[in-house]
Amino acid sequence: MRSVPTLLALSLLAAGASFASSAHAAEGDDRFALRLGAMNIDSDNTLRGNTNVAGQDIGFSEDFKLGGKEWEPRIDGMFRISNRQRLLFNYFKYDKDRRETLGQDISFGNVNVPGDSFVKAELKYQVASLVYDYSVVDTEKFDLGLQLGAEYAKVSTKGYADLGTVYEGQFLDEKTDGVAPVVGARLSFTPSEKWMITLQGQYLNTRWGSFDDYKGDLSRANAIVDYRFTDNFGVFAGYDWFKLDADKKGSDGTIGLKQEFKGPVAGISVNF
C-alpha cells in the first residue's frame, strides 16, 4: 500500500496564482515575478480505516496532532505571456515528526507497558504545480482568471512504536507520488498602483491522475495582499488553506486520511 496521505498534495499549496493580478496596475507590464516566503502551518489530521476479522467488520477513525505550528518554505512564480495569459508555478513542502512517551508504567492484567514506551510518527509532503491562467475579465481595477494545469505531489508517512515486550516495530510505512490535472479560478483587485489583493480556489481529484488506487480530492483556497515598495520589489501577506481527503482499498480493507493545512503566509516578491 503506498501513501496513506497520498496526494497530500497535498496540498492547498499555497497561493500559486496570486501573481496573476491585473496587468494594468500593481503588476504593470512585468514579464516575470518571483515570490519567496513561508507558511506558518497548523494541521488537523484524521486517520481512518476498516477491515474484516473473523467475519466481523471493524472500523476506526482517529484524530491526531503532529505538534505545534511550524514555518515551512514556499515559492511562487509568474511568467506573463500576454495581458490575459500567464503561466503560474509554485512549490511547497511540509516535513514534520513527533514523538510521544508514555511517562509511567501501565498494566493490563498480565500485560505490562513500561513508562519509557514511545510512539513516533513522521509526515513528509512536497507538491509543485504549473498552471495556465487566462483572464476572462481584465479591467484596470478587477481581473477574473480561469486556470488549468498539472500538479505533482509526493507524500510519505511513517509510524514506529516501542512498547517494551508488548510490541516493537514499524506499524506504518506509506508513500506515493503522482501527477494529476488541477482546475481553479482567481479574482484579483488593484485598488492602487502599489496594492494588489488576490483570492484563489483550486480543485484536484486523484482519479484524474496517476496516484495508484487512491481515491479522493484536494481542495484549496487562499487570500493574498501584495504591496509594492518599488517597481521591482515588494512584500506580501495572507492566509492559505487546503484539505486532502483520500482513501485506498486493499485486499485486507480500506485505509484513508483527511488532512487540513491552514495558516498565515508572508514573504517578499521580486518583479521584472
Among 55-59, 105-109, 216-220, 247-251, which is the least confidently predicted range?
55-59
Among 82-96, 204-218, 228-242, 258-272, which is the least confidently predicted range?
204-218
Name the nearest CA neighbour of 179 among 158, 199, 201, 150.
150
> What's residue 79's pLDDT?
94
Measured at the CA of 211, the angle between CA 180 and CA 179, to 5 degrees, comes to 30
CA distance 109 to 157: 33
pLDDT in tens, 102-116: 666 666 556 666 767
Please give the backbone phi and psi of residue 137, each rounded to the nearest 5 degrees, phi first: -130, 130
**Sequence-separated (6 or more) residues with CB below 8 Å from residue 222:** 12, 14, 15, 18, 199, 200, 238, 239, 240, 241, 265
Band of pLDDT at residue 27, cut at 50, 70 and 90? very low
Share of the chain above pLDDT 70, in %: 63
- List the grid coordinates of 216: 479522493
CA dihedral 10, 123, 260, 145 (to 10 degrees): -20
> What's residue 23's pLDDT?
34
Contact 178, 152 (CB under 8 A): yes
Share of the chain above pLDDT 90, in %: 29
Identify residue 171 by its one-letter amino acid code. F
Q: Return the DSSP state at 139.
A: -
CA distance 241 to 57: 35
Q: Per-residue pLDDT for 42 more than 60?
A: yes
Name the nearest CA neighbour of 201 among 140, 235, 243, 155.
243
> What's residue 48's pLDDT?
65
Q: Return the DSSP state at 207.
A: G
Give the C-alpha distances (Å, rounded to integers) separating 147 from 17, 118, 129, 135: 9, 46, 12, 9
Q: Per-residue pLDDT for 88 more than 50?
A: yes
pLDDT in tens, 134-169: 999 999 899 999 999 998 878 777 777 776 666 667
**Sequence-separated (6 or more) residues with CB below 8 Å from residue 175:** 2, 3, 154, 155, 156, 157
CA distance 237 to 166: 49
Cβ count within 10 A of residue 54: 5
Please give the backbone phi and psi of residue 208, each rounded to the nearest 5 degrees, phi first: -75, -15
Contact 206, 180 (CB under 8 A): yes
